[in-house]
Amino acid sequence: MKPVLPPIVSADTVHDLLGGDRPPVVFDLREPYRYSQGHIPGALPLDPALFNRNTETARGLLPDADELNAQLRAHGVCADRPVIVYDEDGGPAAARAAWTLRAFGHEAAAMLDGGLIHYAARHRLARGKPPLNEDDGDFEGAWRRERIADRRHILARLGAPDLQLVDTRSAAEYGGRDRRAWRAGHIPGAVHLDWRLTKGADGRFLPEAALRALLAERGLDPNKETICYCQSHQRSSVVCLLLEALGFTRVKGYPGAWSDWGNQPDTPVAAED
């Protein structure tokens, strides 16, 4: 039976899983020198660029499926083992990796809430070189389109009563004052929710009650199709995982995001006056 894991896990959960009969594959997405200074025991270093593909006009697109499969298997990813990814503080790098793995069909992929900072405050770290990976994995991923939106899908659904768009960028980007593409602003009808508002001062997500109140303030309905985007679907991956963890049933991420939408000549754009 394939394991299932919530998209966001605590440091204590990771620690407990490491002591199980079938421990997770753990990926450290930080710079190599940081890995050598201290990492979760058994973690393997991995370049977060594996989970993105960039072109001249769009960033954060889906990676090539064949290459992703090959790299994941080479790093020991199996269909029956959980995968935990972490960065320094539970930010967009870890979220994008976990979101990509889940969109690729691995339902037991999760990001570490609060990142290594929180884990290190509660549990001992290992140091030195990564462990030898003696066995290849058997995972064979494929894109799950129910988790992924693209420009064509959004254009076809724009204005539908059961669609809600969530822009997770800064207020200046949303309002068009901070231009990071040929055109500035946001997708018409998108609700603004800066991803940073979901986090506490310690880098972990806010308590569930506070998060639900934050979402309710924005009028977000857990039963509607919900498409999250930012500039390149890094920050919005954080919100995708959070919404899924809170029971939203139709959550999609938009790879490419504003770097795709905002660099088109004819996509509709809204901005503050």
Instruction: Tell me the catalytic residues.
Output: 230
Determine the Cα–Cα distance for residues 189 and 208; give it in Å rounded to an integer.
Answer: 26
For tokens 């508002």, the residue is 197
- The DSSP letter of residue 80 is T
Nearest to 82 by CA among 50, 105, 109, 58: 109
User: Could you tell me which of 73, 134, 65, 75 has the C-alpha nearest to residue 103?
Assistant: 65
Residue with tokens 């503080």: 89
The three-state secondary structure class of 187 is coil
Centre a 10 Å sphere on the Cβ of residue 29 and count the other Cβ atoms it contains.
26
User: Are 235 and 195 a contacting pair, CB within 8 Å?
Assistant: yes
